[in-house]
Amino acid sequence: MVMVPYDITALPLSSLKPLAEWHRSMANHLADAVKNKESYQAILDRLSARRKSKTREVDILTTYLANGNSPDQALRATAAASGLDQARLLPLLPAAIGRARQAGRLKRNREIMQRVATGWTDAEIGARFGLHPKSVNRIIKEQREKAA
């Protein structure tokens, strides 16, 4: 039940028509607000779906790049897998390249730490990975700080 802050029966009949119009106007305004909120939610849902799709496409590109494919090959393969035009995927390429490089560094650092655990010297590890022994030492130090 809706509570009205005044007694309608005490109002003159001449004021009821404007009051009814005001209530109708407020009801329309509320209905529009609900529609706008639903439209706003639909927009948010579409943006969220697009963001998830974009993340998935970057993940696919990253996987192809991390597996040794060239950027051009990764774009073609991702376009085929996702059904999108390569031109739409092109802006996602820098992020995918960065993630692929990061994944490569993580893998390399993990292998370095495995070799340290088995007794390899910095010079031996550096020769294996094409790094200067001081770089190997820095990587080992950073990895140990992360682990602590």
pLDDT in tens, 54-86: 888 889 999 999 888 999 999 999 999 888 888
d(CA 100, CA 108): 12
Q: Give start and end residues of each alpha helix (H) in 83-148.
A: 86-89, 93-117, 122-129, 133-147
What single DSSP character describes residue 2? P
The stretch 91-105 carries a mean pLDDT of: 91
Q: Which residue has the higher pLDDT, 16 or 147?
A: 147
Q: pTM (2 decimals)?
A: 0.56
Q: pLDDT tens digit string along 114-132?
A: 999 999 999 999 999 999 9
Q: What is the pLDDT of residues 2-29, one digit of tens each?
A: 555 556 666 666 666 776 787 788 888 7
Going from N- to C-terminal start, the domains of the chain cover 18-98
